[in-house]
């Protein structure tokens, strides 16, 4: 997260780290973000991913139509699971499970992280994404969030 902040990349934190922010702390192997799709922001993100030696996980990168290290590839709207020198980063963009950056930003919360303001998806948006994904881990996250906050 520090590298993203230092590079001036605007993003919304989602996924397991957002679950923790909302009171249901659990282990996670990655950081999930939804970047602001503004072209200069995607240029900063692509440049940072190059510096972090980002490599697509689980597929033959030569067969992918777009690369996360290319601003135009990011602008195409794809999502990327990346191994970086700092660990796994999932760059996710609008899909049937993930709302648009604008929708997430509309009710995101801000937290203080090492002296920086970080935007995190709202509890309501997080629950909606977990319901839509409906994987076993998502169902466990929903149970933990319900235990922490009750059902809304």
Check residue 60 and give its pLDDT: 65
Check residue 3 and give its pLDDT: 94
Q: What is the pLDDT of residues 125-137, one digit of tens each?
A: 999 999 999 999 9
What percentage of the chain has pLDDT greater than the value 90? 77
Check residue 1 and give its pLDDT: 83
Nearest to 2 by CA among 82, 108, 85: 85
Under-70 pLDDT residues of the chain: 59-65, 152
Tally of domains in the chain: 1
What value does the mean pLDDT of the chain take?
Answer: 92
Domain that residue 100 falls in: 2-149
The b/e string for 88-125 (b: 16+ C-beta within 10 A; e otherwise) is: ebbbbbbeebbbebebbbeebbeeeeeeeebbbbbbeb
Cα–Cα distance measured from residue 40 to residue 30, given in angstroms and rounded to the nearest whole number: 25
Residue 68: give its domain's CATH number. Answer: 3.30.460
Check residue 33 and give its pLDDT: 98
Return the ∠ at Cα 125 (arms to 36 and 9), rounded to 5°: 20
Check residue 152 and give its pLDDT: 60
Q: What is the pLDDT of residues 13-40, one digit of tens each?
A: 999 999 999 999 888 989 999 999 999 9
């Amino acid at each position: 997260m520090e590298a993203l902040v230092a590079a001036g990349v605007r993003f919304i934190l989602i996924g397991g780290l957002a679950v923790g922010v909302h009171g249901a702390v659990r282990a996670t192997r990655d950081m999930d973000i939804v970047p602001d799709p503004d072209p200069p922001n995607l240029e900063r993100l692509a440049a940072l991913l190059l510096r972090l030696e980002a490599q697509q996980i689980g597929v033959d990168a030569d067969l992918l139509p777009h690369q996360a290290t290319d601003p135009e590839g990011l602008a195409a709207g794809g999502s990327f699971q990346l191994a970086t020198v700092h660990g796994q980063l999932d760059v996710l963009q609008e899909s049937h499970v993930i709302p648009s950056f604008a929708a997430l930003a509309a009710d995101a919360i801000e937290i203080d992280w090492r002296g920086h303001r970080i935007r995190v998806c709202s509890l309501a948006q997080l629950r909606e994404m977990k319901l839509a994904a409906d994987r076993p881990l998502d169902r466990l996250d929903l149970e933990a969030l319900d235990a922490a906050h009750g059902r809304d």
